[in-house]
Structure 1
Amino acid sequence: MIELDEIDRQILHNLATDATQSAGALGRKLNLSQPATWRRIRRLETAGIIKGRRLRLNAEALGFGVTVFLGVKLARKGQISLEDFERAVSAIPEVQTVEHVLGLYDYRLRVVARDLSDFERVLRRRIMTLPGAGDVEANVLLSEERLPGPIG
């Protein structure tokens, strides 16, 4: 693990806010040259602190007005491999994230749907028919705030 100084933390905070910034623009904000900023970004990437930059799509603007967090408990542990379940659930386009968790449920899924009846269709026809799928618990997202995290 590398030591982060205040400039590294400022770089991370700025990139977390807007990952599209160029090294030159970011350097101007932080009083660094473009090459110095780029070297710091590259060092953070090489160290695995920056894992990538992603495009965040607005699901609602794309017609997916409902987001549901779904807890899934596997029905027959040991009879189905976790990898088989993960591979099958990952193939469902409406499933945005698959997280293997410790607790009451084995998996937490983030599922998007056009509306509640569309979610019901995805749940009944796709998720509940997966090998090993057992009990589920659904939590419908009402609102979401993006917090800067521990670096900010």
Structure 2
Amino acid sequence: MTALDDIDRKILRALFADATQSSATLGTQLGISQPMAWRRIRRLQDAGILAGKRLELDLPALGFGVRVFLGVKLAARGRVDLESFERAITAIPEVQTVEHVLGLYDYRLRVVARDIADFERVLRRRILTLPGVGNVEANVLLSEERRPGPI
């Protein structure tokens, strides 16, 4: 594990807020030189702490007004090929995340849809038709108060 100091943490917070900032902008913002900021960013990348840049889309602006968390329990756990299920479920574009979890359900999915009728179509025609799918439980997201950020 790479030891992080206060400057590293400030760089992470700043990049989380805006990953497009240049090392010169970060240096000015944090009171360090541009080369030092660049070296620090490179070290965080090399250590795997900065694992890439993400683009955040405004889903409602794109017409996806419904987000659903779906718990999926596989029907016959020992008989289902998990890799085949994961490959099939990740091929569905409305399924944004697939998490293999321990608990009541085997998988937790984050699904986007234009509206409830569109979600029902995705659920009935795409998700429930996959081999091995047993029970499902849907929770519609009403609001999101906090998004994940730097620890």
Given the two structures, how large is their TM-score scaled by the length of structure 1?
Answer: 0.95
| Number of matched pairs | 151
Aligned to 2:140: 140
Give the 5 Å matches for 1:35-114.
35-114=35-114
Whole-angstrom distance in 2 between the partners of 1:86 and 1:129: 14
Post-superposition shift, 1:111? 0.2
Greater helix share, structure number: 2
Structure 1, 106-115 or 32-41: larger mean CA deviation = 32-41
Amino acid at match of 2:105: Y
The Cα of 1:148 is off from its aligned counterpart by 5.6
- Consecutive unaligned residues of structure 1, counting only runs of 5 or more, are none
Listed as ranges, the gaps of 5+ residues in structure 2 are: none
RMSD of Structure 2 on Structure 1 (CA): 1.1
TM-score by length of 2: 0.96
> Is contact 2:13–2:150 with CA below 8 Å preserved after alignment?
no
Q: Does the 8 Å contact 2:12/2:150 carry over to 1?
A: no
Q: Is the 8 A contact 1:16 1:148 kept in 2?
A: no
Q: What percentage of aligned pairs have identical amino acids?
A: 73
Code of the residue aligned with 1:79 in structure 2: it is R
Q: Which amino acid aligns with 1:46?
A: D
- Could you list the structure 1 runs, at least 4 aligned residues long, displaced by more than 4 angstroms after superposition: none
Contact 2:72/2:135 (8 A) holds in 1? yes
C-alpha contact (below 8 Å) 1:13/1:148 kept by paired residues: no
Name the CA distance, whole Å, in 2 between partners of 1:110 and 1:118. 15
CA distance 1:23–1:150, change in 2 (3 Å):
closer
